[in-house]
Amino acid sequence: MEFNHTIFEKAKEFIIICYHELNLIDLIETRLDEIYKEIKVSGSYHHTFEELEYGAKMAWRNSNRCIGRLFWNSLTVFDQREANSEKEIFNALSSHLKFATNNGKIRPTITIFRQDLDEVNRIHIWNHQLVRYAGYETEFGVLGDPASIQLTKKCEELGWKGKGTPFDILPVIIEIDSNGPKLFEHSLENVLEVELEHPDYTWFKELQLKWYAVPFISDMVLSIGGIKYSAAPFNGWYMGTEIGARNLADVNRYNLLPRVAERLGLNLQSNSSLWKDRALVELNLAVLHSYKLSGVSIVDHHTAAQQFAHFENNEKNAGRKLTGDWSWLIPPISPATTHIFYNNYDNTRVNPNFYHKKTSPF
């Protein structure tokens, strides 16, 4: 077998940074020898638990689009590289849900399954998020979340049938190598949801809106030192605007601004009545209020921006270059009230990192 120099160079770059940050400088040489030999014999190498754990934390720290990176070092890492059947994988996902949800006191967590062998031989979770609502095309328009239409169809093809409410929780589809997809339904006790109410308007409850407590991103590839983990679902807690200004408000999602504005008695015929803006503020207030009331962790965008300023400062003090994606870091409401709006960020991608399947560098 020809020696894979690319993977060794990537490993080397990672190990040097990782071991420096962990104060294990004396071990670098021996570890690189070991990795060299493993690559020579097998074409690839395996991370130690410590490398995996710190690599995942670094990947979060390097996530240019994430405003919540102050907490990168508090990530809990579950090593599930031994899980070898769809059932074992699903059980690990269920444990992740339970641990991370923690009755509302959300813990940022990642579960890492075995590394990819190649493009085909890898674990593939089909869902964008482990918990998300189904979307159905009906003759009266879309019912539920339009972002889920494709996946909902796949689930139905595999024999699943939803209740037909706007908030049906989708099952998880897991595929190992090219063995075909297997479908699993969550136990509902593992999925925490928050019903939305408004601190001042009692009618808000009548809209019968809710959202799930925890966003578990499950379709990104974790890349550490030349190794790819296609199945490495992770979660943080929500920033309120993700739900109130996007999921429930976007025209191509739940599109609720007109309904909220109507109940507020605003003039929907005139752009300059600012009905969209006023509906957005009340909807976002309801989200933050309801999560707090239910004891579910959430952060408003002003606090998140302040936390991001801390992160920027910490990175500077650690002598690291900050990277970021301005268009994602600014919040979708009142962006100019945050310092982020007035800054420039370098959008270079640093490894370890999370990639979308299409933009993965391998």
Q: Specify the stretch interacting with ligand ARG by CB under 6 A; choose among 233-241, 263-271, 321-329, 342-350.
A: 233-241
Answer for which of 32, 149, 217, 309 binds ligand ARG (CB under 6 A) is 217
Give strand ranges (E) for 86-213. Answer: 109-113, 123-125, 135-138, 141-144, 172-176, 181-184, 193-195, 210-212
| Dihedrals phi, psi of 270, to nearest 5 degrees | -120, 120
Angle at 133 between CA 159 and CA 232, to 5 degrees: 85
Residues 84 and 45: their CA atoms lie apart, in Å, by 18
Residues 29 and 12: their CA atoms lie apart, in Å, by 10
Binding to ligand ARG by residue 215, rule CB under 6 A? Answer: yes
Binding to ligand ARG by residue 338, rule CB under 6 A? Answer: no
| Binding-residue pattern over the window 172 to 211 for ligand ARG, x denoting contact by CB under 6 A | ----------------------------------------
Does the active-site annotation cover 132?
no
**Token output for 122:** 């890898």
**Total residues in contact with ligand ARG, by rule CB under 6 A:** 7
Cα 172 to its chain centre, rounded Å, is 15
Residue 153's contacts (CB-CB under 8 Å, 6 or more residues apart) are none
| Binding-residue pattern over the window 240 to 279 for ligand ARG, x denoting contact by CB under 6 A | --x----x--------------------------------
**Which of the following is catalytic: 34, 242, 278, 326?**
242
Does the active-site annotation cover 18?
no
Binding to ligand ARG by residue 63, rule CB under 6 A? Answer: no
Do the Cβ atoms of 353 and 62 come closer than 8 Å? yes
Shortest gap between Cβ of 234 and ligand ARG (angstroms)? 8
Of 215 and 225, CB closest to ligand ARG: 215
Angle at 236 between CA 116 and CA 314, to 5 degrees: 100
3-class secondary structure, 109: strand
Binding to ligand ARG by residue 236, rule CB under 6 A? Answer: yes
**Which of the following is catalytic: 60, 66, 72, 86?**
66
Closest-approach residue to ligand ARG (CB): 236
Does the active-site annotation cover 242?
yes
**Token output for 30:** 């021996």
Shortest gap between Cβ of 68 and ligand ARG (angstroms)? 6
Alpha helices in 43-85, H assignment, sequence order: 49-61
Q: Specify the stretch interacting with ligand ARG by CB under 6 A; choose among 75-83, 115-123, 234-242, 333-341.
A: 234-242
Shortest gap between Cβ of 238 and ligand ARG (angstroms)? 5
Does the active-site annotation cover 155?
no
| Dihedrals phi, psi of 265, to nearest 5 degrees | 75, 30
Of 43 and 104, CB closest to ligand ARG: 104
Binding to ligand ARG by residue 281, rule CB under 6 A? Answer: no
**Which of the following is catalytic: 31, 61, 69, 122?**
69
Of 55 and 331, CB closest to ligand ARG: 331
Residue 304's contacts (CB-CB under 8 Å, 6 or more residues apart) are 67, 68, 239, 331
Q: Specify the stretch interacting with ligand ARG by CB under 6 A; choose among 76-84, 170-178, 186-194, 235-243.
A: 235-243
Residue 217's contacts (CB-CB under 8 Å, 6 or more residues apart) are 128, 129, 233, 234, 235, 354
Answer for which of 133, 238, 275, 311 binds ligand ARG (CB under 6 A) is 238
Shortest gap between Cβ of 184 and ligand ARG (angstroms)? 20
Do the Cβ atoms of 80 and 92 come closer than 8 Å? yes
Binding to ligand ARG by residue 239, rule CB under 6 A? Answer: yes
Residues 275 and 306: their CA atoms lie apart, in Å, by 28
Shortest gap between Cβ of 346 and ligand ARG (angstroms)? 22
Q: Which residues are catalytic?
A: 66, 69, 237, 242
The residue ranges that bind ligand ARG (CB under 6 A) are: 215, 217, 236, 238-239, 242, 247
